[in-house]
Amino acid sequence: EIVLTQSPGTLSLSPGERATLPCRASQSVSVNYLAWYQQKPGQAPRLLIYGASTRATGIPDRFSGSGSGTDFTLTISRLEPEDFAVYFCHQYGSSPQTFGQGTKVEIK
Amino acid sequence: QVTLRESGPAVVKPTQTLTLTCSFSGFSLNTPAMCVTWVRQPPGKALEWLALIDWDGDKHYTTSLETRLTISKDTAKNQVVLTMTNMDPGDTATYYCARMDGSVGAFDIWGQGTMVTVSS
């Protein structure tokens, strides 16, 4: 099974700053089948990015994904107040599918 | 509009079997490359993928829980059912169902989730 590692567990940033969230896989993710989700308290996750770099429908362009193989990154170019949340990476290229442990982006 | 909604008991006792139903609308599980999946999240913890069933009836399970899980579908009712046997307090979590559209690949639409507590 592919283990996804998200570190750090928490990022403390200010609105307007750039956020860079890494996700490292224990082995290569097939066909870059890597997704990112945003989750706010009491809500279901929301798909942001799939295929490592394609934004889902309705996602603002300040969110971008990059990477391939074992190293992936979610970048939020300028943090808006509504972006403070937990972000999870997810690989769906091989079974069993797996999620990372999440990175919380909190207000500094 | 695509929607999914989970239903099931809020509380189960240890050793009991949990049965959760995902009722969906706005798409068909007869459509090639459509799938429905189950994911859970213990309070304050990470997401854990559990199981997936695809349009063709193929089923996939997470390795650690494979012997306790069964996923099935009723295409006519637009429902997917997940059963988990021998429930334990460690299974206390919010259980989500979600759609996986093959053209996207990831879980693009989620239900609101249902909280299940395992307690005697």
Per-residue pLDDT at A31? 86
pLDDT band at A71 (very low <50, low <70, confident <90, very high): very high
Q: What is the DSSP string of B22-48?
A: EEEESS-TTSTTEEEEEEEE-TTS--E
DSSP designation for A80: -
3-state secondary structure A3-59: CEECCCCEEEECCCCCEEEEEEECCCCHHHCEEEEEECCCCCCEEEEECCCEECCCC
Q: Is the four-CA dihedral B72, A98, B8, B14 of positive or negative sign? A: positive
Q: Average pLDDT by consecutive 10-residue portion of chain B (120 residues)?
A: 97 98 96 96 97 96 97 96 98 98 91 97
- Across the interface, do B47 and A90 touch by the CB < 8 Å criterion? yes
pLDDT one-digit tens code per residue, A6-55: 999 999 999 999 999 999 999 999 889 999 999 999 999 999 999 999 99
Pairing of strands A103-107, A86-91: antiparallel
Residues contacting residue A94 through CB under 8 Å, at least 6 positions apart: A2, A29, A30
- Across the interface, do B47 and A46 touch by the CB < 8 Å criterion? no
Q: Which of residues 34-93 of A touch B (CB under 8 A)?
A: 35, 37, 39, 44-47, 50-51, 56-57, 88, 90, 92
**Mean pLDDT, to the nearest integer, of A50-68?**
97
- Across the interface, do B113 and A47 touch by the CB < 8 Å criterion? no
pLDDT one-digit tens code per residue, B7-42: 999 999 999 999 999 999 999 999 999 999 999 999
Of A22, A16, A21, residue with least CA distance to A108: A16
Per-residue pLDDT at A100? 98
